[in-house]
Amino acid sequence: MIRISIGTIALLGLACVRTSSAAPVQITERQYTHGYSNEHALIETFDALAQGVQPSPLQIVNGVYVGTGSIDLAPWCDIGGSNACLDTQISDGVFEQFPLATTTWSARLYISGQETVHITVSGESGTLQTDVTSDGAPNGGTFVAFYDADGLESVSFHITEGGFNYAFDDVTTAVSSPLGTGEETALPAPTLSNGSLSLLALLTLGAGLVAAGRTLHLRR
């Protein structure tokens, strides 16, 4: 006979419970700036790359870009002077192979006219799908950013309808965490793994036995 107290089972259960966010989330520029730590940030400005059509996959400072693209000095994506952008040449594309432990990805997105780009964000916790429409800003572009506490894997862009052009600048990855300032986005409620649910079932059973003043005996 092996005699195991309920307290021991409870400690083992609590040690093994693992939580994770339900899916990646989109965050605003204010939330990104004031609500997250954003450590080890790497920024791809595209200024160091030669102008013209680029190979695919394209190696950048914080991952790779897979898709048709060229480096252009377009006046509509200038920020404070001459500034290069990654022009997608009216095609879909994906950023992936981020540095280890990346939890946030952001970029300046320049969309022709008032068109909409569909974005799929894949992370360790799940998948987020969202649409982004140009905010009409002639300079500065539309800021897009995503966060996954468990780690990001890729960010994909898809033209929803018709043919239009869009470009990227200041593609940034970082190891981030909420600062608790109240500026961060409301994160998804934690979820429990299947193994954790089984352990919680044992804990519930053990609590009932304790209430009855009994000791649980496990037979080998």
Q: SS3 string of 150-187? A: CCEEEEEEEECCCCCCEEEEEEEEEECCECCCCCCCCC
CA distances (Å), origin 128, targets 81, 103, 119, 156, 196: 34, 14, 8, 10, 25
Residue 56: per-residue pLDDT: 97
- Residue 162 pLDDT exceeds 70: no
| Mean of per-residue pLDDT scores for the chain | 77
Residue 12: per-residue pLDDT: 37
Give the residue extent of every domain in the chain. Answer: 23-178
More confident residue, 46 or 79: 46
CA 175 to chain centre: 10
CA–CA separation, 53 vs 30, rounded Å? 34
CA distances (Å), origin 60, targets 26, 44, 105, 110, 201: 23, 7, 14, 19, 48
Q: What band does 20 get if pLDDT is binned at 50, 70 and 90? A: very low
Asked if 106 and 143 count as a contact pair (C-beta separation under 8 A), the reply is yes
What does the pLDDT look like over 93-138, one tens digit per residue? 999 999 999 999 999 998 877 788 999 999 999 999 999 987 665 5
In this prediction, what percent of the chain has a pLDDT beyond 90? 50
Asked if 109 and 142 count as a contact pair (C-beta separation under 8 A), the reply is yes
CA–CA separation, 21 vs 192, rounded Å? 10
Q: Which residues of 135-158 are buried (b: 16+ CB within 10 A; e: fewer)?
A: eeeeeebbbbbbbbbeebbbbbbe
What does the pLDDT look like over 65-89, one tens digit per residue? 999 999 988 766 655 555 789 999 8
CA torsion through residues 95, 98, 103, 108, sign: negative
Asked if 19 and 192 count as a contact pair (C-beta separation under 8 A), the reply is yes
Q: What's the CATH number of domain 23-178, 2.60.120, 1.10.10, 1.10.287, 3.40.50?
A: 2.60.120
Alpha-helical (H) ranges within the chain are: 6-16, 29-35, 194-211
Against a cut of 0.85, is the pTM above it? no
Query: Of 22-36, 56-70, 118-132, which gets the smallest average pLDDT?
Result: 22-36
CA–CA separation, 214 vs 138, rounded Å? 72
Residue 92: per-residue pLDDT: 94
Residue 94: per-residue pLDDT: 98
- Residue 206 pLDDT exceeds 70: no
What does the pLDDT look like over 180-200, one tens digit per residue? 776 665 444 334 434 433 433
Q: Average pLDDT for residues 49-67, to the nearest whole number?
A: 96
Residue 18: per-residue pLDDT: 36
Residue 6: per-residue pLDDT: 43
In this prediction, what percent of the chain has a pLDDT beyond 70? 65
